[in-house]
Amino acid sequence: MPEGNPVTEGAEVLRTRDLIGWSVMDAQAKQVGTVKDLLIDRRGRTRYLDVDFGMFRKHVLLPFEVLDWGADALVLARWTQDDVRMLPPYDPTKPLTPAVLAEMQRAFPSFYGDPKARPQMLGDTVAIPLRDAQDFRLPKEAPDPRKWNVFGADGERAGVVHELLVDPSAMKVRYLDVDLADDLFNLSDDRHVLVPLENVELRERGKDAWVQGLSASEVAALPAYAGGGVDSKMQESLSTAFRRREPARESE
């Protein structure tokens, strides 16, 4: 906020244009970005802030109700800069149609989902689909296992790698999104599971991904993945599934 602005100093109600250019700070007092615009719905309510994140000129949308008023900035009391980095880019030239808003809520429930559920979820997203991480690029020397066959430790096929889930803040791939082979497991619908990359051996020669410690049927029994970001609850459930196999591996 410009210093010494007589219009904003001590004001209880501000004009929209007075907020343009304000800094947005995270919970650790680090600047996240700058307010570029405000988005209102047809009822006249301010729904989102268009914030220039700065990195590669990326813009993101921040729900207005999660912001607190600071002395000279808007504050994300429960979010960090890394949380904001995981948000999808916002293109100001494209309208926020009901379909676009619904997809935002589905893919990023921790940020755009039911406001009543957000407080315990904020800052909880640990990985997002690669397609949503605009600033993330796989290293040139790293294999891209998408469309590779996935096998269990028993040598049986489990499915195909559909997508990668990445941690943009650490610039690392965290999970493989595995599309299970419907015909092998008698599945009535399209079912996906997540496998931590640290539990996978990538074999470039055959373009195969081998899950360590779980048979193909055990891979198929992992928690179903419906898309979107991964929060700490799902991360823990996956870690538990693999930890249960530790004694069996040690005894082999």
Q: Are residues 171 and 82 in the same domain?
A: no
Structural domain boundaries enclosing 85? 16-91
Q: Are residues 154 and 245 in the same domain?
A: yes
Q: Are residues 84 and 161 in the same domain?
A: no
Whether 143 is in a domain gets the answer no
Q: Give me the pLDDT at residue 116, please.
A: 53
Residue 104: which pLDDT band, with cuts at 50, 70 and 90?
A: confident
Q: Choose the weakest-confidence range: 47-56, 67-76, 121-130, 138-147.
A: 121-130
Q: Are residues 169 and 85 in the same domain?
A: no
The residue-averaged pLDDT of 5-31 equals 73
Among 91, 117, 133, identify where a domain stops. 91
Q: Are residues 81 and 153 in the same domain?
A: no
Whether 186 is in a domain gets the answer yes
CATH number at residue 63: 2.30.30.240
What percent of the chain is predicted at pLDDT more than 70?
Answer: 81
Structural domains of the chain, count: 2
Q: Kindly report the average pLDDT of the chain as a whole number.
A: 80
What residues form DSSP beta bridges with 74?
24, 69
- Spell out a b/e string for 70-102, using b for 16 or more CB atoms within 10 Å of the CB, else e: eeebbbbebbbbbbbbbbbbbeeeeeeeeeeee
Dist. CA 194–CA 105, nearest whole Å: 20
CATH number at residue 235: 3.90.50.10
Amino acid at 136: F
The residues, any chain, with a CB within 8 Å of residue 134's CB and separated by 6 or more, are 56, 58, 88, 89
Among 91, 107, 130, identify where a domain stops. 91
Whether 199 is in a domain gets the answer yes
Q: Are residues 247 and 154 in the same domain?
A: yes
Q: Give me the pLDDT at residue 215, please.
A: 92
Tokens of 210: 């081998």
The residue-averaged pLDDT of 215-231 equals 84
Among 43, 72, 91, identify where a domain stops. 91
pTM: 0.52
Q: Are residues 162 and 237 in the same domain?
A: yes
Residue 157: which pLDDT band, with cuts at 50, 70 and 90?
A: very high
Q: Give me the pLDDT at residue 250, please.
A: 43
Q: What is the DSSP string of 94-105?
A: S---HHHHHHHH
What residues form DSSP beta bridges with 151?
157, 210
Whether 129 is in a domain gets the answer no
